[in-house]
C-alpha cells in the first residue's frame, strides 16, 4: 500500500472517530434524556428471555440463548474448516487462517503438557477453550445487556417507560434516565400499560455471567480429569485418594499419606468451586465495570475498556483451558512415576 493510500485511509477513519465522539457527547450531555446512560441493574441470576418461556418447565434464559449463539458460531467455524480441508486447499486464508492458528496453538500447549495423551485430551480441553473464548467475544456485540423487555425490578434503580420509536403499528419503548421512579413492592401500571417503575431485562447476556454455565464447565473439566486418570492408571488411580495399602503397612507415615489422600479428594471438589467462581467473578465484574464507567464517563473511556475486556475474556478462557490441561496431565501420571501410566495407555 502506497503512502498516499495510507494517509487517505487513516484520514477517513480519523473523521469517523471524531464524528462518533461528537455523537456520544451529544447523546450523553445535550441530546434527549432517553439517550442518556442509566445506572446498571446488578442482577446475579440469569433472566428468562421472555416471561413464561421455558423448556420442559425450565426457564429459557438470556444466557442460554447467548450460549446457543456461541455454539452456532463454533459449529459454523468447524464446518468452514472441514470444507476448506475437503476441497484440498492447503493454503489457509481468511477466517480459516485465524481458526487454524488458534487450534495449532491449543494443540502445541496440550501436547507439551500431556505428551502422547494429547490426541485424547485435545477434544475436551480445546472445546472448553473455544466455547469460553467465543462466548466472551460474542458478549461484546452491541445489544447484549441493553436490548430486552421492560419489567418492574425486585430491587435497584427503576425508571419511567417512555415511547422511543414506532415501527408500523408497533411502538418500541425505552427507559428515561431523567425520570427515576421510587421503587415499590407493588406492581403499578403506568400510562402506557407498562410498569410504572421499570428496568430492562436483556434478551442476551454473556454466558459466563451465569454461574450455571461456569459451574457446568467446571464439573465437566474435573470429571474428565478423573476419566483420563482411570484410562491411564486403571482402578489404581483412586488409590491416591484412598491409599489403604499405605495405611495398613506404612505405620505413622502411612496414616499421614492416608490423610493427605483424603485432602486431595476434597481438593478435587474444591477445583469445581475454584473453576466456576474464578471465571464467573472475573467476567461478571468486567461487565459491571463497563456499565458503571459507561454511566459515569460515556465517551472516550469505554472504548478502551472494551478492548481491555476483549483481551481479558481471551485470558480467562486460556486460564480455564490451561488449568484443565495441567490437571489432566497430573492425573495421567502415577505418584510412583509414569511407568504405570505407560502400561495402561
One DSSP character per residue, 120-134 reads HHHHHHHHHHHHHHH
Determine whether 168 is exposed, middle or buried from the number of CB atoms within 10 Å of its CB (0-12, 13-18, 19+): exposed
Half-sphere exposure for 317 (CA within 13 Å, toward CB): 22
Predicted confidence at residue 191, as pLDDT, reads 63
- Listed residue (241, 261, 317) closest to 286, CA to CA: 317
Residue that the C-alpha cell 491409599 belongs to = 243
Per-residue pLDDT of the chain (345 residues; tens, 9 = 90+): 555 555 566 667 788 878 888 888 887 788 787 877 777 778 888 999 988 888 888 899 999 999 999 999 999 988 888 887 787 776 766 777 888 889 899 999 999 998 889 999 999 999 999 999 999 999 988 888 888 998 888 777 788 888 888 888 788 888 887 888 876 666 666 666 678 888 889 999 999 999 999 999 999 999 999 999 999 888 888 888 888 777 777 777 778 888 888 888 899 999 999 999 999 999 998 888 888 887 777 777 887 888 888 898 999 999 999 999 999 999 887 544 444 444 444
Buried b (16+ CB within 10 A) or exposed e, 264-300: eeeeeeebbeebbebbbebbbebbebbbeebbeebbe
Predicted confidence at residue 314, as pLDDT, reads 92
Determine whether 336 is exposed, middle or buried from the number of CB atoms within 10 Å of its CB (0-12, 13-18, 19+): exposed
Contact 332, 233 (CB under 8 A): yes
Rounded CA gap, 162 and 174, in Å?
Answer: 6
Predicted confidence at residue 101, as pLDDT, reads 87
Amino acid at each position: 500500500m502506497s503512502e498516499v493510500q495510507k494517509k487517505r485511509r487513516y484520514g477517513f477513519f480519523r473523521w469517523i472517530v471524531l464524528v462518533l465522539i461528537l455523537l456520544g457527547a451529544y447523546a450523553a450531555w445535550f441530546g434527549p434524556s432517553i439517550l442518556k446512560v442509566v445506572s446498571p441493574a446488578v442482577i446475579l441470576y440469569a433472566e428468562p428471555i421472555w416471561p413464561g418461556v421455558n423448556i420442559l418447565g425450565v426457564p429459557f434464559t438470556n444466557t442460554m440463548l447467548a450460549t446457543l449463539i456461541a455454539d452456532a458460531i463454533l459449529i459454523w467455524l468447524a464446518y468452514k474448516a472441514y470444507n476448506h480441508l475437503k476441497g484440498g486447499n492447503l493454503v489457509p486464508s481468511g477466517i480459516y487462517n485465524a481458526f487454524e492458528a488458534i487450534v495449532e496453538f491449543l494443540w502445541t500447549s496440550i501436547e507439551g503438557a500431556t505428551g502422547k495423551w494429547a490426541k485424547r485430551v485435545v477434544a475436551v480441553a480445546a472445546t472448553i477453550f473455544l466455547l469460553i473464548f467465543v462466548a466472551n467475544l460474542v458478549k461484546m456485540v452491541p445489544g447484549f445487556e441493553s436490548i430486552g423487555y421492560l419489567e418492574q425490578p425486585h430491587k435497584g434503580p427503576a425508571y419511567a417507560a417512555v415511547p422511543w420509536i414506532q415501527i408500523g403499528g408497533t411502538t418500541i419503548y425505552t427507559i428515561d434516565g431523567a425520570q427515576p421512579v421510587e421503587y415499590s413492592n407493588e406492581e403499578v401500571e403506568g400510562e402506557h400499560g407498562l410498569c410504572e417503575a421499570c428496568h430492562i431485562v436483556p434478551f442476551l447476556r454473556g454466558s459466563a455471567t451465569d454461574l450455571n454455565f461456569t459451574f457446568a464447565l467446571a464439573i465437566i473439566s474435573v470429571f474428565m480429569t478423573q476419566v483420563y486418570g482411570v484410562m491411564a492408571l486403571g482402578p489404581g488411580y483412586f488409590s491416591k485418594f484412598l491409599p489403604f495399602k499405605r495405611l495398613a503397612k506404612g505405620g505413622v507415615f502411612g496414616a499421614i499419606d492416608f490423610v493427605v489422600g483424603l485432602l486431595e479428594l476434597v481438593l478435587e471438589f474444591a477445583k469445581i468451586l475454584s473453576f466456576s467462581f474464578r471465571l464467573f467473578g472475573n467476567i461478571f465484574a468486567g461487565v459491571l465495570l463497563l456499565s458503571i464507567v459507561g454511566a459515569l464517563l460515556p465517551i472516550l473511556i469505554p472504548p478502551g475498556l472494551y478492548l481491555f475486556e476483549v483481551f481479558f475474556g481471551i485470558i480467562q478462557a486460556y486460564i480455564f483451558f490451561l488449568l484443565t490441561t495441567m490437571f489432566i496431565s497430573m492425573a495421567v501420571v502415577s505418584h510412583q512415576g509414569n511407568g504405570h501410566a505407560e502400561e495402561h495407555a
